[in-house]
Structure 1
């Protein structure tokens, strides 16, 4: 397995990994390839975008996409998406991706990583195992407008 920075020609392979992961349990999303491609492309076009991929024999088995955000107390990195192919989950790929990302961010002077995830799913356990803590004062809000 090789860990490296995302390049534009990795996007379709990341899209395939993304749809394979998120169209299954526990999310059961219904991503089409076209919609997922555009969704991930939007992130890659964001100011401050950073992407890391895990590649095994030319297959992308995991990736993390996010953005560097300027903050008064120091720059932080917000994880927009992270996934590991179902077959490679619980094998250390995600933790290795996270460690690789942390080293890159530290080198770039970024002091903090933030993200949102659902409660009660394997991702919550993964992030807590990798040193993330819940922020009690934060409230996530949503409003349907249609």
Structure 2
């Protein structure tokens, strides 16, 4: 399989939404995204100032996406990686790794001190991120409050 990493632009939104729907439908997430909600999520990131949106494509088909936002922290500029998703039938072929590498190159080129993300503490995703050089922070937690 050959693919290339490009900037995600409007023509990729539908394919990027399809990636989100398919990737999040499987374990460990088991989420039921609609194409409309996924497209809205991708479009929102594209319209956000200082966003970084990348796509892996092969012959016009979107295989994976990386969506991030540049932020300023006390340590300097960073990129928060909001989404990294790959079509299930394209996983394990280096696409996620290539998207992460491209995000790091973008961060470095723009003077960002790091890339950070939130994901599961264990399992295959955690192992993937650790193999890719991410370290799990023991001093942080994720807090959520639902309205229902």
- TM-score, length-scaled by structure 2: 0.92
Alignment length (residue pairs) = 146
Q: Would you say 1:82 and 2:92 are equivalent positions?
A: no
In the TM superposition, residue 13 of structure 1 has moved relative to its aligned partner by 0.9
Q: Would you say 1:16 and 2:21 are equivalent positions?
A: no
Which residue is equivalent to 1:108?
110
Which residue is equivalent to 1:56?
58
Alignment of 1:23-102 (within 5 A): 23-102=25-104
Q: Would you say 1:3 and 2:5 are equivalent positions?
A: yes
In the TM superposition, residue 143 of structure 1 has moved relative to its aligned partner by 1.6
Matched residue of 1:70: which SS? strand
Runs of 4+ in structure 1 deviating by more than 4 angstroms, as ranges, are: none
1:61 and 1:5 map into 2 onto residues whose CA distance is 13
In the TM superposition, residue 82 of structure 1 has moved relative to its aligned partner by 0.7
RMSD, aligned CA: 1.2
Question: Which consecutive residues of structure 2, in runs of 5 or more, have no partner in the other structure?
Answer: none
**Which moved further from structure 2: 109-118 or 119-128?**
119-128
- TM-score, length-scaled by structure 1: 0.94
2:75 and 2:116 map into 1 onto residues whose CA distance is 14
2:48 and 2:76 map into 1 onto residues whose CA distance is 19
